[in-house]
Amino acid sequence: MDQPPLSARRRSLLLPTLAVLAVAGSIFALTALRADDQRTASPEPVAQTAALPASVVDAQKAAVAHYSPATESSAIAVDIKNYAFSPASLTVSIGDTVTWTNEDTAPHTVTVTDGPEKFASPTLQQGQTFSYTFTKAGTYSYYCAVHPDMKASVTVQGSTPPTTTTTPPPTTTTTMTMPTSNPGGGCAVKEALAPFIAHLKAAHLEESLGQQVTDALNLDQYIKTHTVLIENMLTPVLNGDADQSVKDVLSPLLAHLKAAHLDESLGQQVTDLLNVDQYVKTHTVLVENMLEPVFNQLTC
């Protein structure tokens, strides 16, 4: 059988091959087009976060607010050492907390004598602390009830939040004023005795005999402590509404305490004491000067 020419055979094989390639290309194009349409019609899903419970959200907000520097109060330290408060003068803001730490072997207290609020710590032994958060502006003067010569102050700055009070409806009441022969005298006596009672509790009733002996052996501090104690008792009486005759009696004693004891060194006081004749004469005349105004007011 005669073979067709070579060019004729090539043309007969080329046509089916082209047809197959055309069909395959069409299928590939249709597949790609369909996939593109599906991507356009159905975009990738966006991840969604499940809503947190309200309690969790509130807790997160509270935690952020708690640790916010704007609302966080400051903690200030005061050291009690070498029979002194350090720092002796302190300025803080409303809401600040002050912590006192006793570093002495002797006991101490933090007792407020004047200020918008009065407060007192228990007797602090070595290593113990006492904290107080100030909520009212003003100057707080305080001292150690065991050692009244230890004095310091805290000045609180800021505006005190106003207190909301409900005014009760007006009522008609009848009051009876009891007569008194010495108005204001009770308050003067109370102010005079307050330092003594505080010292008696903290330095004697609440202290062991051994500690009291240790305090007494520290002679310089012991004399100064009780001298200042007497001064703290007399000052409110002399500055208050006490009768003038009472002031006349106590004024020489207070002047003597300041000049001959508080303003003098221990060495000088010992020297004065060793000069027995002059020492007795000094204190005898002191008593005379205190009693003379009283006798001059007496009538027969």
> What order do you get walking across the sheet with 85-86 strand by strand?
85-86, 75-80, 97-102, 129-133
CA distance 109 to 157: 24
4 prior amide bond cis, ω within 30: no
CA distance 201 to 146: 8
- 147 assigned to a ligand binding site: yes
Task: Identify whether the C-beta of residue 285 lies closer than 8 Å to the C-beta of residue 253.
Answer: no
- 144 assigned to a ligand binding site: yes
Give me the amino acid identity at 29.
A
Task: Identify whether the C-beta of residue 112 lies closer than 8 Å to the C-beta of residue 141.
Answer: yes
Task: Identify whether the C-beta of residue 156 lies closer than 8 Å to the C-beta of residue 136.
Answer: yes
Residue with tokens 């009283």: 294
Encoding tokens for residue 214? 């240790």
> What order do you get walking across the sheet with 151-157 strand by strand?
89-93, 151-157, 138-143, 111-114
Phi and psi at residue 129, to the nearest 5°: -125, 160
Residues comprising the binding site? 108, 144, 147
Residues comprising the binding site for Cu cation? 108, 144, 147
